[in-house]
Structures are given as C-alpha cells and as structure tokens.
Structure 1
C-alpha cells in the first residue's frame, strides 16, 4: 500500500482538474468553489494579484481587458496581455497551480508530490514551461505524463476495460482550444506506447462558441444592427463586458443543449432573448466535426490499423460532451465511442492511477477535507520516485522508506504556506513587469490637446515640413518665404515641451538660404540637420547644423561632401557613398572619430554602409538607440570594415561577398543576400568573431529580385522580394537567426511593409488597390484584427499609431488610430486635419492649420 499522498493536475485549456491519491489508494478530486472542475481562467487586478477560476470569471465583468479565460491556448505566445500589463504565460499557469496547491494543503495538510499532464505533441520547451510554473507555485520537482497515456490508464482501470498486450485504444481529447488524438498500444510490461498522434490545434470548444456567436450575430444584426456593431467591435470597458457576457451566454446554451433540445440566449442590450435549438447546434457543428472525424481517420491510418481493430475509442475533454461528437465519430468510424458525463475528469485521475501501484477501487464522492481518523496513515510524505524511461510509457512508482509521520498543520501554518505559494508567483511576475519591454498600454479614450497651438511665425511654402518627437520634446521644422524677398527661402525651427505643449524657445530659430534637406536627427542631446550648399568650382557640399535643445542656439556647423548621415545615441555619423572619409561627431558637433578608407585615385571608395542594429530598440521605437554603437562599411574592393563609433577602434575587417550584394547588420550579425542562378542565398557572419561565417540558407525563388532587408524581431530578419509584375508590392521571407532557417514566408498575395511591433509583426497587404494592416504573433498566426488604416508606426513595444499625412504643405483630414499588439483598435479621433505629425509613446505632435499642436494619446 502506498505510504504517501500524490497530487495529479490536469491544467486544461478551459478547465483545470486535480485529484489527490490518498495513502490507502483512494482517489479524491479536489473541490474548487464546490466543483471538481475549476475554470482555467486568470484575472490580473490593479495591485498585480492574479485571481483564478470562478473568482477570475466574476472579476472579468469589472475589467474584461484584464481577463484571460484560456491561458493554455496562449502558450505559443509566451506572454499574456492583461489590461496594461503583459505577463508570462508561465505566471498564469503558476497562479492556477498555486490555487490547486492551496486547496491541496487545506485538504490533506501539506502539498504532496505532484504529476502534471500535457498533450502528447508538446515539445520539451512547452513541458519546461509547466516545470517552471510548478516551481514558481512552490511545488517540488514534478513529473509530467502525457494526456493520452493518462486517459488510457483511466479507461483500463476505472472503467474496467482491460487491454491485453498488442491491443490498441484511441483517445479523442477534445478540449476548449485544441483537439488531440492518439492511438496507444498496450505493451507486455503493462505500459502504453503511442503508435501515432495528431490533432487539430485550431479546433476546440472555443471554435464552436465562435461559430454559435456568429450564428446569433446574424439574427442580432438584422434586428438591432447598432447593438451587434458594439458587440462585434467593442470600444470601451462596458462594451467589452457585454461581449464577454454574450460569449458566456452562448457557451452556457451550448452546454445546455447537451441535455435538452432548446436553450435561451440573452443578448446584452436586447429586450427579448433569443433561442438556440439542438438542430441549429448540430447543423453548425457538423462541418467542424467533419474535420475532427477526418483527422481521427488520418491518425488511425498512420498505425496501419482499421477502426475495427481498435479495442475502444475513448472521448475525453469538455467538448466531447456534445452528443454530436460521439454521433459523428460513430458514423465515420463504425465503432461506438465511450464518453462520460464529466469527460474533463479522466485525464487527471488517470495520471494519478498511472503513478500508483494499488489496485483500482471504486472512487468515493468528492470531499474537500480528509476523514478525521487518528489512525489513518495519511500523515506521510516522501519524494516522488524516478520514472521508467520512455516518454509515453506508464510511470512505475518505486517508493523508498516512508518518512516519519507529520502532524496536521494548524490553520495559521496553512495560511503561511499559501502565502509563500502566492509570493512564489508574485515575485518573478513583478520582475517581469519591470523588465518586459513589450507591454501593451491602453490608449486614451480620445485624442486631447496638450496646451494651445503655437502659431506659425511665417507662412509655410511647399518645401520642408517635418516633426521629430523625442521623449518629452518635439522639434517642428518648416520652410517659408522670406519677409523681404518672396523668392527667397528660410528654415524655421521651434522646440516644444510635449508634457505641457509650451514652447522651449521663445521664438522660431530662423536660418536663411535655400537647399534645405528634409533630414533631421534628434536624441537626448542632439539636434542636427543639413542644407545643400554650393562649394568652389560648382561642387555640391552639405552644411550640418548642431543646435542646443534648451536654447535653440547653434553650437556648431560642419561641412562635408556626404549627404548621407545617421545617428547612434548622441553620436552623429557622416559617411558619403563614393567618398573615402567617415566622420563621427558628438551632440555639440565636436569630432569624435574619423576613418579614411581606400583611395579615390585607385578607385577604392565607400560602396555601402550602415549601423549595427540593436534589438533593445524594439521595446522603445519612439526613442531608439539607433544601433549598438558600431558601424559597418563596405568598400568597392569588397572589403567589409566594422568600427566602434565611440572609441574609434577597428572591430573587424574581412573580404566577404561583393558590392553587388545586399548587406544588413543586426544584433551582432551581418547578413548578406547573394543572388544565385535560382533564387538567392543569405550568408550570415558573426561580427564579434571577426566576421566568421555563422550560417547560410538558400532561398529558391525563381527570378527573385531582392529590394531590402530589415529587422523584424530580436532574432528575425525580413527579406523583401519584389512581387511578380509589381512595382511597390513585395513577398517577404522571414529568417530566424536562432533557428538558422527561413521560418515563414509572406507570399500569398501582395504585401507592403513589414514592421515589428515589439516581438510581433505589423504586415501591410493589398486588398485590391487598398492597403490593409494585419498583426501577426511570434508564431506568425494572424491576431484578430484586420485594419483598413495603413502606415502604422510603433510607438512602444506593445502598440502603434496611425495618423493622416498631408503633402506639399496641404492639410489632410483623417483618423488617428491606436493599434495594440493584440490587434485591438482604438479610434482616438476621426476628423483630425494636419499637414504632418510625429509621435512618441504618449504624445502626437502635428502641424495643423492653427500652428504647432501637441496631443495626448495616453497618460504620461
């Protein structure tokens, strides 16, 4: 007889079930709010506490944006956005497991050793997330058993359906987010081996809910179009709450239809309830379930066995409760499935049975507290024994000598243990909040003016008009005719405090002359801009002005033959193509470093150059560092040079590819796209290892014409190929430096730009002649949005902004739209008329007809 308790937890997409194995071999489900099935839901309150289960569902009505009903479905994302905070998915798992731990402590007096379940197809990385979450929740090292193996043990033990060696059982695990199918074979030693597994990761109970909501929506749209518009695209907390309530109503109706032929659905704001019938549910479910049946047939086919060769087909998971599931499987396979009244329970109890060596007994009714017999041997605990190797074999328990009996914990100690479990979750979570660069913060409800518009000092012409916003400062620049000569031109600059809307300078700083460029460079201390001037002999040069942010006074000017420049921190780089000299200046225009490369007489000049990009900029795109402080330069003799801008040191020099190829540097790596007879090749070099070859990948795209390379993630590089018969539309290849391979291709249609929004992507694509914007997550799965607006610009690691743009100093009316990394859309204003704008993470600064105006897009 076992001498220890064992806790078995099935953390599912929609529900979590936990079972305790008692020392005498009995199994008891833990009760959460009086039920053995706890919603796998989490809610993050303002204080940073994660609430779970029904508490989370109740709190969801107060702030729907802080609620996540299905965190397990988001494991591939890595993080959850809950209100204005982004937390790791493991923190949500840990909160759920901590709730289970507290209940177990209340029930048996201590936290037993535990086994957790996971889908058979889960990678080691995903299983590691469960291990991490359990550790955060205060568990000792846990064992992990696959769900189909656990279900098979329940089938043979609790349901008394023996399988002899060589016989096979199919487990159909239909949960809230996914369908997992496995065919298992009983082995001679009593263990189970998985012959084949598969499933549909995009089909679960939530998809049936969505189909039913859409079905209800057709009726609501016809009767009350405004109500449906608010439910379909909620814009505030109240409307989001109504949308959540509608989904809850539809889910409850779906569950009721498993027991009756008709179920009511109350639609928020509608006076009259609607109804769903079993016939409607069956009609809507049939095409979805046809996919499930087809996938079951496919997985079974992988084993080489026919349906009649199966000893049984066992249905588990909450979505298996729908009568249509068993009906269609019976029709499609010709065998009658086995399904229980509560199909959420077998996996958890089966995992417990797999780890115990006692003979099965009839399970007692669920109890929240143990019996009080003083002689019961339930006061023991010990380490969970090792498992026989083999990820899909039965875990055989090998117990050592029991430890000395432990006293039942007093309530105050139970409370202390529970508090420690909560702290185990809260401490790493708090650290994540402090360090996570990809938080999604909510936008304001509407765009509001900050201060009054600052009038133009002169009437602008059709030349330059630019806005640069840096942190709490904005630089406005525009050209105007001179007051003494309408044919003359002058540049006007004005700096504004974006926190107050007040000007930093009392008046415009005016620079006479023409030839003004639309290139302005700003950072904490730097303001630099350029003017084309005529040098002796008719040559063209460029005069660079350096200004002081506080006073607007010119602190320095520099003249160079180079029109091309860049900023890295507060350093300013001028490196002319076709020239030989690279110059670096500080924010005051003082020289920091310079290099002479090649010799113009020998025909060796600068062919291309750029900064080595910094992934930290993804978290702060409105105030980027613009590089990691290093510069790469390719000369016409095919030599690649890398320099440290601040020290002036040479980092590396090496002959790589040719000047005809495309070069790009990001996160310590140099990428070179080389044309081949068929497609092209991406060669990767490690800058920190003297440009040693790090990787290469071939892209076999016929007649591919590479336009550019750009960073689109911490380790991702996006390569733009000109789409066939297009002049401004592209296909994109996404290269992952960690995986050293192309991990995704955007070529199903014609695409515009691809830009990062933190660790996700904003992708423009053509729908006819119109550009639309779609957000994709880290797994290149489209997030639930589809925006007609184009030209979104990331303003922080979790959101982006779109605003109207004029031209030739003509104002243009349009919308200001906020976009979250989760695809949420916030209409800040629909009728803003501007010439041009610039944005930070909290402010939008624009030229308007009234002058220079600052707007708040969210609180500071």
Structure 2
C-alpha cells in the first residue's frame, strides 16, 4: 500500500480532473462545484485575479475578452491576452493547479506529492512550463507522466486487463479540443514506452458541438431568423448569455444521445423546443470521425503492427463517450474498443495508480485475456525492487539418512572401555551427518541483529538529485549507487554513479562517474565482473539505445554498445541483448566484448522474435542475492510459433520445435519448458523436456472461470506456480501449484484473497489480504502454515532461510518505512522503524540505501 497521500492531476484542454490516493490505496476524485470534472477555463478580472472553472465561464459573460476557455492549447504562445493584459500561460495554468491544490488541502489538510499528466508529444520546453506552473501554485517538485501511459496503467490495473512485456495497447484520447493517439508497449519492468503517436490538434468535442449548433441553426434560421441572427452574432451581455445557453443545451443533448435516441434542445427566446436524434448526431459526426479513424490507422501503421496484434484499444477523454466513436473505430480497425461511462477519469486515476502502487517483488509476465500476436520480453532481466535480479524460487527440503546398526550378533561380555568407545562412535555417526548437513544446508536460518547499524560514513551526493533516477545494486562486497541531477548540458540532466565497498561503506571510486544526457533506464545489470546499464541516447537513430559497460574497480567505461532495443537479461557475468520484433541475439561479457551471436526467424519473411527469456535453475534458490540468473541457456519463440533453446556462451542450438503459438504463456525452469494455453473453460499447462528435443512430457487441464493465467513462475526446486487473476479485482489472484515429478497440481491457493507468492529457500512467502491490509505467511513444502503471519509485505529473500523488507522507492522523494527481517520459521525481527530513503538494495548481511544525506550502507547481521 502507498505510504502517504498522492495527488494526480490531468489538466486537459477543456477539463481538469484530479484524483487523491489515500495511504490505504483508496482513490477518490476531487469535486469542483460538486463535479469531478472542472472546466480548464480562466478569467482575469480588472483587479488582476485569475478565476477558474465554472466561475470563469460565468464571468466570461460580463467580459468575453478577459476569458480563455482552453489555456493549455495556447502553451506554445507563451502568453495569453486577457483583456488589456498579457498573462503567461504558466500563470494561467498555475491558477488552475492552485484551485486543485486548495481543494486537496480542504479534503486532507495538506498538499501531498503530485503527479501531472501531459500529451506524449509534448517537448521538454512545454513540460518545463507545466513544472513552472506547479511551482507557482505552491506544489513541491512534481512528476510528469504522459497521458497515454497513465491511461495504460488504468487499463491494466483498474480494469484488470493484464499485458505481457512486449505487447502493445492503443490509447485514443478524444478530448474537448484535440485528439491524441498513441500506441504503447509494455516494457520488461512493467512500465510503458510509446511506440508511435499522433493525433489531430483541430478535432475535438468542440468541433462536434459547433457542427450540431450549425445544424440546429438551420432550423432556427428558417423558423425564427431574427433569433438566429442574435444567437450567431450576439451583442451585449443578455445575447451572450443566450448564446452560451444554446451551446450548453446542444452539449447536454449530445451527452444525452449517448444514452437515448432523442434529446430535446431548448433554444433561448423560442417558445417551442427542438429535438436532436441519434441518427442526426451520427450523420453529422461521421465525416469528422472519418478523419479520426484515418489518423488512428496511420499511427498504427507507424508501429508495423496490425490492429489485431494489439492487446486492446482504450478510449479516454469526454468526447469518446459518443457511441459513434466506438462504432466507427470498430468498423475501420476491426477491433472492439474499450470505453467507460466516465472516460474523463482514467488518465488522472491511471497516473495515480502508476506512482502509488508498490512495485511487485516479482514483476508479472502478463498475457491479455484476448492474446494478440506480439512480442514478450524476458522475465529475468528487469530490475526488481532490490535490483536487476530475477524472481527467487524456493527449493525442496533435504533429508538426512542416519546410520543404522547391523544385525544383532551372539551376546558376549564387552569391557566398559569398549562400551564407551562404541557409544562415542554411535553418537558421532548420528551427530556428524547432522552437523555436516547444518553446515552445508543452503536453507538454514541465520539470526538477525537487534537493530540496523550504519557501516562507515555517508558518502554525500555530488549534486542535488532531481528525482529522475534513484537506483541501488548490491553484489557481495560491491555496491553501485545511481542518481540523476540537473545539468548545464543542453539535455538538462546528468547521471551520477558511485561504487562503495559493501563491507566497510568506503567509496571504491574517488568521485562520481558523471555521464551527460537524459533517457536513463532503471535497469542495472550487475555481477562479479559485470556492471552495465542503458540510455536512450538518440531517439532519431536506428540504434537509439546505448549500453555502457563499466569497470567495478575505478568506474572507467570499458565499452559502449549501440542497439535498436534495450531488451536485455543478465546470465552470470554475461549480458544478453535481443530486440523484440528482431532476429539477432548477442551475448557480451563484462568488458562489453561479444561472446556469441545468432539469428532466429527470417527478417525478409517478417518472422521475428516474439518472446524470450532465460532458462531458470534451482541453484539460484540457494544464494538469491548473488544468483547466476539461469543455467546458461535462453529460450525464444518466433512469430512462426517455433520454440528455440540456445546455449549462451557457444551460441549453439540446443532444441527447436513448434510446440504451441506465440499467443500462449511460456516459462522455462530446470530444463523444462512450460506453456499455458488459454481455453474457453480454463487452460492447459503443457510441459516439454528441453534435453529431449522439446518432447511433451505432461499436459494438465485446469478448469477455471477466472481470466487467462498471466504468470508462470518457479516456486520451488520441483514446483511451478501458475497465477490466475480474479476477475474484477486488482492485485488479487488464485495460484495453482504444479509438481513436474508427480505430474499433477499438488495445491491450489484459492481460499483467501491472495496477492503474490515469493520463495524463501525451500518454503513460500505468501501474501494475502485481510481487509485492506496485506499480510505475509510462511508455508512449508507440504503447504502448511509456519508461525504467525506478519503485517509486513514486499519481502525479498536474501539467502535460503531469511528475507528482508525495507521502504519502497516512491519515485518522487524520500519514502519512510520500516526495515524488518523474516525467518523461514515465521519469526519477525524489527530492525529499524521510520527509515527515510530514496531507494535501497540488500545482500545477505547489508542494506545499502540512497538517503537524504547521501549513500549509506547498513548492517543487519555479521558478514
């Protein structure tokens, strides 16, 4: 759950919507004059006060020249002429944001951290204007999220339409003044990137209103020409008021026609009302919407994907409410759009969901309920909350066979000395194996210290962070800190990197490594000999992404690699880069030198890689904080439905076979490939042996009324879990547990509202809801509970027998929370309360954090 309040504001061309997120995760739109939708209008009175919303619209009747209905649309002009004064656009937007801020303060008593939305195509200069407006309105530094990305988060989270990495969603944002279209791809870390965008700046709800007013005008002109003359060219406050009433009547009729077939229109000064029909609205709308459909087709074409290859088409913005919009898009594109009853709200609430929701311990590899044919990125590569390490999975219990005595011989008297010696031998025979097992058992529970203790001094920031990137990665005795700051460089930003010794907290580098530019990704790939990360260096290039390979010893750049995609995964000390929708896999070592490369599919025939990931290994369960990340193999599925498995170092093929389709859900563990195939009444879980040429070894049919499974993951050395979303509820799942040796489902987690399942050595950490709270319960391999549940969540395994949780990164500013240790026996150790940090990562003995003071290492047990 979020640790504090969050405010999200969608300042649109015609209307503004704001959503508050409570600390317990509830969301509620702010009300302005009793409505969640406030007109984005401003009016400057003679005294210099800027009025907003409906107040501005009312005052506009007294002095239209002091009124601007759409200040956001004028952002490129820099200033507005309101009456005899020039007002900066930032000042007008600040007045609207100030109104939102006052309403928020009235609701919760203070102005919380805030995220604002903007069109995807907005330049840095326009976004800077929005930042400036927020600062003028008294906000703390705000985050800005693009409107289509915010809508995508609403689509996947609130509407429970899961998407796998690599799949794409189209967002059709039809507001009052403009149409914005974007196609977004789900990234490996759960975020969204814009594949293509476009729109029509001269088409919006106001254009439909104008066309309807003109249509009504033809009738009025015939019946009452004098009345129409006054409405068309008003003079004086009374006639202006009548004109405004007509437009409001027409707009209300348009809204009503989304629910009924006929709507009355009262024309000022006319004795008898007129009527608009749904047929008239459709006829008037069709030529306008034909432009919208054509522009949508053009944007789709820029992605190289057909409409049926998308995960969905989501309509937002008030003008999307017209039924003709959905109808014509469906006719023109062949896919059914999703539109809500209040399409003005998803952008604001989606932005809130994007920043308020805590990052999952294991990010889902999701599949849509109607799976499209589109790429999916690897699951092992993304950064988790604590680093670029993959989901940890638990192993099974090990048993110890004790020595038994041989057959009983004829009794004879044995001297006491020999009895004592024999007793010692027997005791040793029993104790030594047990002792050896304890010493070598990778799943033993180690004690935590009584409190979290700082290690060494704080390493201060070289410059004030700008809330862009806060990342920490710990690898045994080395820790990497990364943060961004403002810069005098034309890009306005620079990345700072610093390595410290984890044991002592002493810096390994004399100063920060600084790289100028923007476009930094949150994925950092670290191991004993690997330190790599990526940047979107040149968006206009065919290879816009640049991977940096640094030397752990001194921070020097060993090499840089330019790539058409930043999809990557770490395996041992190697980095695998393979663009989705491409054909080439390339493996690099820690020096950034090429180790192997191979091609899959056929570019000329448009057969490309749709999905790939690493083959996981149970060995990673024993040392989760330094896991190898797989067994050195990678699997992939190409768009011709062929599954491939390759050895990373040699680049040689291990297996190749068509098993299912690219629409299905794939996962590989312990040299078995699992494929979940959706069916009308549930799904099949197919299992294939990689070492036997991908021959099928089992098929389980699961009957279920829930949506299609959205994740398959390892949850033990010999256990694989399948996650089923619960329809209509966000972040609640049923889990099926499969045992490959027994070839059956051995347990189902369905008696509670379950959240996530994470491994803890040979046991499970299972999160479930109690009311609005999340609790964590340990289960053993027989699926019996161990100890009591704890009210903490988001634990990460740090070794085979213990886990740790710490304050999640907020993305805005420092976040405050507790540091708690958890043992495999269910015991909870409180190590620190109210720790304030930007971001952290942990080893099995240390917690490294970016704090308010700088870079700090803490100890929670002896190394």
TM-score class normalised by the smaller sequence = 0.5 to 0.7
The alpha carbon displacement at 1:540 in A equals 5.8
Q: Normalized against structure 2, the TM-score is what?
A: 0.53
What is the match of residue 199 of structure 1?
none
Please show how residues 332-731 of structure 1 align to structure 2 within 5 Å. Answer: 381-382=408-409, 403=410, 406-482=411-487, 484=488, 488-534=492-538, 536=540, 539=542, 541-731=544-734
What is the match of residue 83 of structure 1?
none
Match of 1:140 among 406, 417, 421: 406
The alpha carbon displacement at 1:684 in A equals 0.4
Alpha-carbon distance between aligned partners in 2 of 1:655 and 1:481, rounded to the nearest angstrom = 51
Deviations 1:388-446 (A, max 9, x none): xxxxxxxxxxxxxxx4xx43111110011101101111232233134311011001111
Alpha-carbon distance between aligned partners in 1 of 2:794 and 2:618, rounded to the nearest angstrom = 22
Q: Secondary structure at the match of 2:668?
A: strand
Alpha-carbon distance between aligned partners in 2 of 1:662 and 1:824, rounded to the nearest angstrom = 36
Structure 2 unaligned spans of 5+ = 1-394
The alpha carbon displacement at 1:487 in A equals 6.3
Say if 2:509 and 2:555, in contact at 8 Å, map to a contact too.
yes
Q: Secondary structure at the match of 2:745?
A: strand
Alpha-carbon distance between aligned partners in 1 of 2:784 and 2:684, rounded to the nearest angstrom = 26
Root-mean-square deviation (Å): 1.8
- Work out which of the two has the higher radius of gyration on C-alpha atoms and give 1 or 2: 1
Q: Secondary structure at the match of 1:627?
A: coil
Please show how residues 180-259 of structure 1 align to structure 2 within 5 Å. Answer: none
- Seen in structure 2, the aligned counterparts of structure 1 residues 616 and 651 have a Cα distance that, compared at 3 Å, is same
Say if 1:644 and 1:651, in contact at 8 Å, map to a contact too.
yes
Say if 2:533 and 2:548, in contact at 8 Å, map to a contact too.
yes
Alpha-carbon distance between aligned partners in 2 of 1:563 and 1:843, rounded to the nearest angstrom = 30
The alpha carbon displacement at 1:486 in A equals 8.8
Q: Normalized against structure 1, the TM-score is what?
A: 0.53
The alpha carbon displacement at 1:812 in A equals 1.6
Deviations 1:824-844 (A, max 9, x none): 000011121111100000000
Alpha-carbon distance between aligned partners in 2 of 1:574 and 1:465, rounded to the nearest angstrom = 24
Alpha-carbon distance between aligned partners in 1 of 2:570 and 2:606, rounded to the nearest angstrom = 28
Alpha-carbon distance between aligned partners in 1 of 2:477 and 2:665, rounded to the nearest angstrom = 37
The alpha carbon displacement at 1:713 in A equals 0.5
Alpha-carbon distance between aligned partners in 1 of 2:786 and 2:585, rounded to the nearest angstrom = 44
Say if 1:87 and 1:433, in contact at 8 Å, map to a contact too.
no
Alpha-carbon distance between aligned partners in 1 of 2:651 and 2:809, rounded to the nearest angstrom = 42
Deviations 1:352-396 (A, max 9, x none): xxxxxxxxxxxxxxxxxxxxxxxxxxxxx54xxxxxxxxxxxxxx
Q: Secondary structure at the match of 1:712?
A: strand
- Seen in structure 2, the aligned counterparts of structure 1 residues 87 and 426 have a Cα distance that, compared at 3 Å, is farther
The alpha carbon displacement at 1:701 in A equals 0.6
Say if 1:612 and 1:630, in contact at 8 Å, map to a contact too.
yes
- Seen in structure 2, the aligned counterparts of structure 1 residues 599 and 466 have a Cα distance that, compared at 3 Å, is same
Alpha-carbon distance between aligned partners in 2 of 1:547 and 1:624, rounded to the nearest angstrom = 20
The alpha carbon displacement at 1:601 in A equals 2.9
Alpha-carbon distance between aligned partners in 2 of 1:485 and 1:604, rounded to the nearest angstrom = 42
Deviations 1:53-104 (A, max 9, x none): xxxxxxxxxxxxxxxxxxxxxxxxxxxxxxxxx998966xxxxxxxxxxxxx
Say if 1:440 and 1:798, in contact at 8 Å, map to a contact too.
yes
The alpha carbon displacement at 1:583 in A equals 0.7
Structure 1 unaligned spans of 5+ = 1-85, 92-131, 142-380, 383-402
Deviations 1:661-696 (A, max 9, x none): 000000110000011221101000011111111111
Question: Hey, which bits of structure 1, 4+ residues long, moved more than 3 A?
Answer: 86-91
Say if 1:798 and 1:820, in contact at 8 Å, map to a contact too.
yes
The alpha carbon displacement at 1:707 in A equals 1.1
- Seen in structure 2, the aligned counterparts of structure 1 residues 439 and 846 have a Cα distance that, compared at 3 Å, is same
Say if 2:587 and 2:595, in contact at 8 Å, map to a contact too.
yes
What is the match of residue 273 of structure 1?
none
Alpha-carbon distance between aligned partners in 2 of 1:89 and 1:549, rounded to the nearest angstrom = 37
Counting matched residue pairs gives 469
